Amino acid sequence: MSSYELGGPEDDTSTDAAARSDVLALAERSFLGTPTGNDAYAAAMDGCREAVLSTVGDTDEPYAGTTYAALRETLDRDTLPETGNDLEEVLDDITTDVLAKSVFPSDDSCIAHLHCPPMIPGLAAEALLSALNQSLDSFDQSPAGTVIEERLIGDLASLFDLGADADGVVTTGGTQSNFQGLLVARERYVRDEFDRSAAGRGLPPEAESMRVLTSADAHFTVAQAAAQIGLGEDAVVAVPTDDRHRIDPDELAETLDRLKRAGERPFALVGTAGTTDFGSVDPLDTLADLAEDYGLWYHVDAALGGALAVSERHVGTLDGIERADSLAVDFHKLLFQPIACGAFLLADKSEYDLLSRNAAYLNPETDSVPNLVSKSVQTTRRFDALKPYVAFRTLGREGMASLIDRTIHLADRTAAMVRSDPAMELACAPTINVVTFRYVPQQNDSSSPKWVDRVNRRARDRLFTSGDGVVARTEVDGRAYLKVTLMNPQTTVDDIREVLLALKGHAARAAAQSNARDISGGRDTDAVRGQFEEVHR
């Protein structure tokens, strides 16, 4: 018997009693609910607060520039040690080894991804919900949380004007919400078209011709969801976009007609309100017309752009979203909440019957209270609704809108800077807060497209490893582009200017070095590139 195993009454020796005492002492200092545990919690939270304030709260750069190889070498502690250490000592190590070597979304120069600085009300809510540890699958595991989430979903449905029959559920984000939207769409189509339950009996042979239509610039999770619901990624038909990377309605109509003539079965249309690479918003009202004309389920991925619904200045960008059958919106993007927090909304709550499942121990049909597991693809689920609940109660829609509006204005100013610089090329005008561009070396005719791609990729990598800034990379029409995503209302035009200047400096050096190597006949391999960056970092 180990020192922490408990014997039965007949084994009540002094050794057993000592072991039980050790276990009880360990439990007291490891959990809330006793004076010892409560004091330990207070000390731990004090330690965490100091660790956060000393790193995240006082940054000089968005990243320390540590390479993956260096992190693998230094973060070599046993993750499952045989014996433990004092929590204060562990937190000290975490502060030095993990926090200090992380990317800081709260830094003014961390402008790469849809990766927001979490606002303080959300951080406070995160601490509360972690300590409460509610599970939103059943009412008896989260009574107050169930009601809060229901009210939040109701207010969201009203915000998007989805109607009195709307419902929804808090999710981990757009990936889960897009999956759930297409899952419901598949179930309804198979039921109506083939008098069959795909969930119960599987897909019929005719499902091979089922098609989902979406923009060529839609998020990859549309194709991922199609694969996960059994249709395969090839079931997704990507429709061309216009010069602002919005789906082209004429191309969409032509594609639908072509699919119909070919005997294929379009059943769902996914519009996007805020593409990842451009922030583009599809013509949602026109798409709703086409969905209605062709009998398609209409899902809107508004993971990014859904935040515009709280802004009087920008809400018109979402015209038509109220006609969606389902939609995704994220709180952990432009609504500034800690990861992960999103919502899936369904215009007709009766469609949830397509996914219903009851378990005697969890959500029996005879229950008179709601058990939210029936609305989610998760079972155990955090009380993440508390984060937007606390945030909106603290700032109000008005305060939240002012922060959103500022990031969009900053994107416009950034785009203007890029346009005015002959060494920069803008991919398209921003719609929300994403600015996609590339560095264009002012060289001679030898500046081949591949060479320019190489320079942009190296400039971005060197900016990151230098700690001067964090920008993202993508491709536009097969060419390398860079991207800044303005998620931080504290970022200023001067901050952006400094990042762009640093980026140009790294790009110019990369271009010069690349030219020198090309002239000398040197090899352009990943190994040479890595060696050069380590030397010049």
Mean pLDDT by 10 residues, the chain (537 residues): 48 77 94 97 97 93 91 94 96 96 94 96 98 97 98 98 98 98 98 96 97 98 98 98 97 98 98 98 98 98 98 98 98 98 98 92 92 96 98 98 98 97 95 97 71 95 93 96 97 96 94 64 38 35
pTM, whole model, 2 decimals?
Answer: 0.92
Strand locations in 307-394 (E): 326-330, 342-346
pLDDT of residue 516: 57
Strands 479-485 and 167-171: unpaired
Instruction: Compute φ and ψ for 33, nearest 5 degrees.
Output: 120, -10
Quickly tell me which residue has 């007609």 as its tokens: 257
Instruction: Work out the number of other CB atoms within 10 angstroms of the CB of residue 206.
Output: 12
Query: Measured over all CA atoms, what is the biggest interatomic distance in the chain, rounded to whole angstroms?
Result: 90
DSSP state of 10: G
pLDDT of residue 33: 96
d(CA 129, CA 131): 5
* DSSP helix, strand, coil percent of the chain (3-state; round to 5): 50, 10, 35
Q: How far is CA 307 from the centre of its chain?
A: 13
Per DSSP, the three-state class of 473 is strand
Residue length, the chain? Answer: 537
d(CA 502, CA 506): 6
What are 511's two structure tokens? Answer: 């271009």
Q: How far is CA 57 from the centre of its chain?
A: 23
pLDDT of residue 6: 46
pLDDT of residue 517: 57
Per DSSP, the three-state class of 431 is coil
CB 334, CB 433: distance < 8 Å: yes
d(CA 170, CA 332): 12
Q: What domains can be seen in the chain, in order of their start residue?
A: 126-358+368-393 (3.40.640.10)
What are 249's two structure tokens? Answer: 């309605």
Q: How far is CA 128 from the centre of its chain?
A: 22
Quickly tell me which residue has 């229950």 as its tokens: 367
Measured N-to-C along each axis, helices 249-261 and 284-294 cross at an angle, to the nearest 10 degrees, of: 20
Instruction: Work out the number of other CB atoms within 10 angstroms of the CB of residue 435.
Output: 28
Cα–Cα nearest to 205, from 217, 223, 193, 215: 193
pLDDT of residue 513: 85
Give CB contacts under 8 A, 24+ apart, made by 426-429. 427/278, 427/476, 427/481, 428/243, 428/244, 428/245, 428/278, 428/280, 429/244
